[in-house]
């Protein structure tokens, strides 16, 4: 299954690419905004989208770590790097003011859903602290819902669920680090 993004509203449409041959042109009509657009099946001359790349879950191990995003509906995977300070996580919508957007069609993920704060503790090691943004559907840490005032310290492999989407924390490799 492949996903294509509507150029007008950024809605994703899913189709079975195995039913078509290379070079064939397909025309879609977005069910959200009714925009018609065409794509050509085959190898793109542009760089592959992040959804179709092979991901290294440890690619940001030398920086601040990352979250591995698994969209449970279609099993799409993204690796999103974290940065020092507040990483505001939510569904990507054009014009949204967040610094860690997730490309998803999951309507139960808010545009500003949760926040992971990356900071150095007294021992100079990175700490990852999760809180709800607050969101409409809640943020779950290891199957427990967070209240608005809750703060949870995350460790390597911590599982956070927002809507029908799962986030898995990959902490930074701090051996031989250089403090930036």
According to CATH, where is 2.60.200.20 located in the chain?
A: 52-170
- Range with the lowest mean pLDDT among 16-20, 99-103, 109-113, 139-143? 16-20
Give the pair of three-digit tokens for residue 68.
């591995």
The CATH code of domain 52-170 reads 2.60.200.20
More confident of the two residues 134 and 88? 88
Among 115, 104, 156, 117, CA closest to 139? 115
- The pLDDT assigned to 60 comes to 62
Given a cut of 60, is residue 43 above it in pLDDT?
Answer: no
Tell me how many degrees the CA angle 123-133-31 measures, rounded to the nearest 5: 135
Do residues 91 and 106 make contact, with C-beta atoms less than 8 angstroms apart? yes
pTM of the model: 0.63
Give the pair of three-digit tokens for residue 164.
């029908």
Q: How far apart are CA 12 and CA 116, in angstroms?
A: 26
- Residue 66 pairs in a beta bridge with 81, 170
Residues 97-102: what's their mean pLDDT? Answer: 89
Mean pLDDT of the chain: 83
- The pLDDT assigned to 176 comes to 45
- Residue 113 pairs in a beta bridge with none
């Amino acid at each position: 299954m492949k996903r294509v993004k509507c150029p007008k509203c950024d809605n994703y449409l899913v189709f079975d690419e195995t039913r078509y041959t290379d070079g064939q042109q397909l025309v879609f009509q977005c069910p959200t905004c009714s925009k018609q657009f065409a794509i050509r099946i085959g190898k793109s001359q542009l760089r592959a989208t992040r959804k179709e790349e092979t991901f290294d879950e440890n690619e940001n191990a030398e920086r601040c770590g990352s979250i591995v995003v698994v969209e449970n509906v279609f099993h799409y995977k993204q690796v999103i790097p974290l940065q020092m300070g507040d990483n505001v996580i939510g569904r990507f919508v054009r014009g949204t003011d967040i610094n860690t957007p997730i490309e998803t069609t999951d309507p139960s993920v808010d545009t500003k859903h949760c926040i992971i704060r990356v900071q150095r503790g007294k021992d100079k090691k990175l700490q990852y602290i999760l809180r709800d943004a607050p969101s409409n559907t809640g943020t779950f840490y290891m199957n427990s819902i967070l209240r608005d005032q809750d703060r949870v310290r995350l460790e390597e492999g911590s599982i956070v669920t927002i809507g029908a989407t799962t986030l898995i924390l990959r902490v930074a490799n701090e051996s031989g680090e250089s403090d930036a």
